[in-house]
């Protein structure tokens, strides 16, 4: 069994790297072969939105460090992803790679369903609302199934080394990912913090037309008063057909993404005509 640690911090032996290594050490102790990739060592170009992967099922046309990341992902049976929080969400390298992972969605590589665990690191409690949700999106675009996720708190590089309970929890991540990778896919269960949303275990919601909606998976809930506080009653249908369910993804691909190609080709001449006045605007001759 091969387990890959991904480190999304530029800081060498920063909190993220320490925690990912602690988890990898535990997995290694249990018998896994381990590997680690620092995502910040890769030169990653932004997705150019050419959609060749979606409409032509081509490999990504950009040749850069993303293919190193992709090959590592394919070589391994499970992933531990660690990333610091920068401005309420994951560090930028995570978004850069997430966008490029569109090539996994529609290209030659299909979802593996391999297990993944998330280690987030923040400096200040309450200043990390988008971190775990966006790290889940990253894992999803890699075709990984999140079985554990945890947010740690530390500021200065390596400060987490003074927090024994954090190191213990990181070892637990290593244990959990080893166990999950040892099980068959059907037997794998989620063992991380439960969170509020029963489908994706996140705590981030938006209000749409008076209904509460999980920002990550779109499961809907009604707010009820209970014991002096509130209680969320989830709609069982949207829990089943949430954004990341196979059914919803297929629907999105066939009804929203695929038709956009022929529609664009049909409208291209008109768009070209209307865009003329913008073409030379602000362009220095």
- Alpha carbon distances (Å) from 175 to 24, 77, 84, 117, 147: 9, 14, 22, 11, 11
CA atoms within 13 A of residue 108's CA, in its CB half-sphere = 7
We find the least distance from the C-beta atom of residue 14 to ligand FMN, in angstroms, to be: 3
Residue 60 binds ligand FMN, judged by CB under 6 A: no
80 touches ligand FMN by CB under 6 A: no
**Residue in this structure with the two tokens 């200040």, named with its chain if needed:** 124
Smallest distance, Å, CB 82 to ligand FMN? Answer: 7
- Tell me if 129 contacts ligand FMN by CB under 6 A: no
The radius of gyration of the chain from alpha carbons, rounded to an integer in Å, stands at 21
Q: What are the structure tokens assigned to 272, written together?
A: 């070209």
Rounded Cα distance between 126 and 148, Å, is 20
Which residues, 6+ apart, have CB-to-CB distance to 83 below 8 Å? 7, 8, 9, 16, 90, 91, 93, 94, 119, 120, 121, 131, 135
Q: What are phi and psi of 106, to 5 degrees?
A: -120, -10
- For residue 37, state whether it binds ligand FMN (rule: CB under 6 A): no
Instruction: Fill in the per-residue mask, 218 to 247: x = in contact with ligand FMN (CB under 6 A), - = not in contact.
Output: ------------------------------
Q: Which of 5, 48, 47 is nearest to 24 (CA)?
A: 5
Residues 6+ apart with CB under 8 A from 192: 117, 118, 146, 147, 148, 149, 150, 176, 201
**Does residue 84 interact with ligand FMN by CB under 6 A?**
yes
The answer to whether 85 contacts ligand FMN (rule: CB under 6 A) is yes
Contact call for residue 127 and ligand FMN (CB under 6 A): yes
Give the distance between the most distant pair of CA atoms in the chain.
Answer: 69
Among 86, 190, 234, 244, binds ligand FMN (CB under 6 A): 86
Residues 147-206 that bind ligand FMN (CB under 6 A): 154-155, 157
Interaction between residue 16 and ligand FMN (CB under 6 A): yes
Q: Least Å distance between CB 73 and ligand FMN?
A: 21
Residue in the shown chain whose Cβ atom is closest to ligand FMN: 14
Contact call for residue 123 and ligand FMN (CB under 6 A):
yes
Task: Work out whether 9 is an interface residue with ligand FMN (CB under 6 A).
Answer: yes
By the rule CB under 6 A, 133 interacts with ligand FMN:
no
- Between 59 and 159, name the residue whose CB sits nearer to ligand FMN: 159
In the list 4, 5, 6, 14, the residue contacting ligand FMN (rule: CB under 6 A) is 14
Q: Does 20 bind ligand FMN (CB under 6 A)?
A: no
Question: Which residues make up the interface to ligand FMN (CB under 6 A)?
Answer: 9, 11, 14-16, 84-88, 121-124, 127-128, 154-155, 157
């Amino acid at each position: 069994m091969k387990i890959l640690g991904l480190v999304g911090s530029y800081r060498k032996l920063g909190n993220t790297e320490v925690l990912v290594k602690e988890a990898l050490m535990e997995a290694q102790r249990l018998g896994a072969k381990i590997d680690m990739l620092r995502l910040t060592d890769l030169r990653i170009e932004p997705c150019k939105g050419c959609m060749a992967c979606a409409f032509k099922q081509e490999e990504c046309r950009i040749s850069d460090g993303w293919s190193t990341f992709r090959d590592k992902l394919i070589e391994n049976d499970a992933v531990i992803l660690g990333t610091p929080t920068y401005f309420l969400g994951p560090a930028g390298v995570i978004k850069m790679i997430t966008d490029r992972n569109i090539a996994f969605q529609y290209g030659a590589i299909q979802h593996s369903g391999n297990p993944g665990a998330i280690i987030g690191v923040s400096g200040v409690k309450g200043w990390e609302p988008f971190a775990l949700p966006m790290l889940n999106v990253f894992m999803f675009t890699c075709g990984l199934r999140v079985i554990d996720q945890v947010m740690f708190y530390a500021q200065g590089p390596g400060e987490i080394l003074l927090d024994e309970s954090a190191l213990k929890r990181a070892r637990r991540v290593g244990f959990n990912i080893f166990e999950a990778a040892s099980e068959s896919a059907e037997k794998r269960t989620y063992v991380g913090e439960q969170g509020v949303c029963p489908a994706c275990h996140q705590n981030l919601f938006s209000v749409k037309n008076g209904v509460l909606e999980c920002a990550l998976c779109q499961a809907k809930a009604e707010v009820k008063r209970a014991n002096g506080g509130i209680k969320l009653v989830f709609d069982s249908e949207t829990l089943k057909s949430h954004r990341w369910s196979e059914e919803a993804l297929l629907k999105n691909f066939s009804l929203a993404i695929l038709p956009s190609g022929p529609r664009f080709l049909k409208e291209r001449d008109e768009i070209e005509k209307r865009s003329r006045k913008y073409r030379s605007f602000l362009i220095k001759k």
